[in-house]
Structure 1
């Protein structure tokens, strides 16, 4: 029975879209390593899940014949399709309903893959979504891009392993923190909501959103229930559980009295950090900043007593400050910002530093100092 007959690219696109969540963590059920492929007429639905996240998409690539559903190993199917010749016609078929295999063919090449019963694939219950809003794809991508790197990873404070999503009226805010740094970004929605939204989106869901959401003005719909979030655009639907718990009060963390301020070109500072990182302690990854006399001096040392020192000219009229930071925390924010210049505001030798874009209050990044 022929299931799919299409150009390689038309088959590869939906498989790549859903397979990102498969194999990212240890699976307790073998079928969670598979993609569910369901053909109804010419429409073919592709579904993958790890029980916390589910991604669905579809394509009109079904072959003539009876409706059918099969599950195939996601990693093997994606690898095989990627290795096929570009622009070629590909078919996927099942020899018979009782045969536990499918055949992927291109020209004179044939690949036989094992399947698992489609009726064993987990069926996600439909959530009751009570709130929703629309936002352009490039806007939500921009928000995620500027905060995703500050999420915690496997922290026992589980509410830090994700991103706070908050909507009040027509203002959308996203916030992340791992306890050592905090990233905040806000934007405006086209329409104000009558009810506020506040939820914590899991880290892996945020990363899948960044992987899949296009950098275009296409409209995206985000729906929220008590325990789930659903993001829909084009022919893709991403559903995920939410993180339970209360996110920390980020307003208490963002400094308001940091008056020692300087502005520097982003690429100039990135270059200096890249150079000093070479001789930084491989474990601690710390650098020392010294601010005085219109200069920023960046220094690093390692256990072999090697040293790096980079002096940058800046306009600075504040007090003399010596303070240490984690190199990776600085590089993360500079690599994800797109502004030509970046503003830094400090209070003293010990307080948190505030990173912003000049004349732009929509983004804030707070990084705690470290001993160097």
Structure 2
């Protein structure tokens, strides 16, 4: 194998694929990235047996072939090479080492046989469709913060993707919840997705996909089976196993009869919560919201550090209400709002609150209150 490639292009591709490689591996080959020199391109592949990322980049190939090399070490080396320099990768068929040369710098890395590298085969993927990268990224960005980190409820450790009927219109909906908060976002159903099974995309896959699609345009091709999903975009492909489990009936926790409506400037609300929470208990992060006629008072009381209050003019004309929330959860949700105004629909101090973006009807959030 002999290939020459520009440092920046190689670095970008390595940055994408090496992020799925675990720092500590009991199986040595999983610490490596596959380098496959094809006609006019270098194909990189990395996996952790749950996710596989492939990326192809243009290269000058003098001799085709394939090998593997330590993913993180190779990334660190290329990252430290001069920007814009040419990187030469070579390996004789009988050798067990990969040579890397760039300018006056030379490296020799131990490699393992390409044949030993596991492949996350797609198998039969009966459901295929495409959707704009911006739509998919929006579904991820609006919901991933609410994914649960508790491994005991593994079925909550991802985003639930499924097709729903919304007033006669079919929508692709994403939902995530950790039991304390719920995030829901949706977009028009892509052509060909009508028979797609309801699936749970794992947290790590969601995070890797978010990084890969950031600042992207064009369409993403999606293939789905009962156990796997594949995303293909430009020169990149991500294949992942799905979470085997049943997502709970989230509609049961979305309130429909909350009769108290609060309308507030989203940016000003975030600033007030952020200010008063500076003295909150690091563990509970509790903030009390006191609502009266067109007035909202924020209060934090922490016996260890002090107290704080702030006031904000709002749109509210229902009965007076005191309700407490986790400040971090409030900031996570309001940070997702694109419009100027946030709308809170409340019932009482012990019931879940519904939060909407006044300018985005395709996203909603539910937040459980806490005692303060």
Aligned to 1:132: 128
Q: Give yes or no for the alignment of 1:109 onto 2:105.
A: yes
Distance 1:168 1:352, change over 3 A: closer
Kept after mapping to 2: 8 A contact 1:39/1:62: no
User: Hey, what's the Cα distance between the residues in 2 that align with 1:191 and 1:53?
Assistant: 26
User: Hey, what's the Cα distance between the residues in 1 that align with 2:185 and 2:66?
Assistant: 43
Q: Give yes or no for the alignment of 1:314 onto 2:314.
A: yes
Aligned to 1:149: 145
User: Hey, what's the Cα distance between the residues in 1 that align with 2:205 and 2:150?
Assistant: 14
Which of 316-325 and 4-13 deviates more?
Answer: 4-13
- The CA deviation string for residues 282-312 of structure 1, in whole angstroms up to 9 with x for no partner, is 1111111111132111111224150011111
Kept after mapping to 2: 8 A contact 1:168/1:193: no
Aligned to 2:191: 191
Q: Out of 51, 58, 78, which is 1:53 matched to?
A: 51
RMSD between aligned residues:
1.7
User: Hey, what's the Cα distance between the residues in 2 that align with 1:163 and 1:301?
Assistant: 35
Structure 1 unaligned segments of length 5 or more: list them: none
User: By how many angstroms is 1:229 displaced?
Assistant: 0.6
Q: Give yes or no for the alignment of 1:239 onto 2:239.
A: yes
User: Hey, what's the Cα distance between the residues in 1 that align with 2:129 and 2:142?
Assistant: 21
User: By how many angstroms is 1:14 displaced?
Assistant: 1.7
Distance 1:40 1:196, change over 3 A: closer
User: Hey, what's the Cα distance between the residues in 2 that align with 1:297 and 1:91?
Assistant: 63
Please list every run of at least 4 consecutive aligned residues from structure 1 whose deviation after the TM superposition is greater than 3 angstroms: 214-217
User: By how many angstroms is 1:195 displaced?
Assistant: 1.8
Q: Give yes or no for the alignment of 1:163 onto 2:162.
A: no
- The CA deviation string for residues 15-49 of structure 1, in whole angstroms up to 9 with x for no partner, is 1121111126x423111111011112322211000
Aligned to 1:280: 280
Aligned to 2:65: 68
Does the residue aligned with 2:108 lie in a helix, a strand or coil?
strand
User: Hey, what's the Cα distance between the residues in 2 that align with 1:111 and 1:196?
Assistant: 48
Aligned to 1:222: 222
Aligned to 2:89: 92
Aligned to 2:31: 33
User: Hey, what's the Cα distance between the residues in 2 that align with 1:267 and 1:194?
Assistant: 38
User: By how many angstroms is 1:331 displaced?
Assistant: 1.0
Structure 2 unaligned segments of length 5 or more: list them: none
Kept after mapping to 1: 8 A contact 2:262/2:345: yes
- The CA deviation string for residues 160-214 of structure 1, in whole angstroms up to 9 with x for no partner, is 0011001247410000001111101111135364424311111111111111014
User: Hey, what's the Cα distance between the residues in 2 that align with 1:186 and 1:63?
Assistant: 44
| Map 1:232-311 → 2, pairs under 5 A | 232-311=232-311
User: By how many angstroms is 1:99 displaced?
Assistant: 2.8
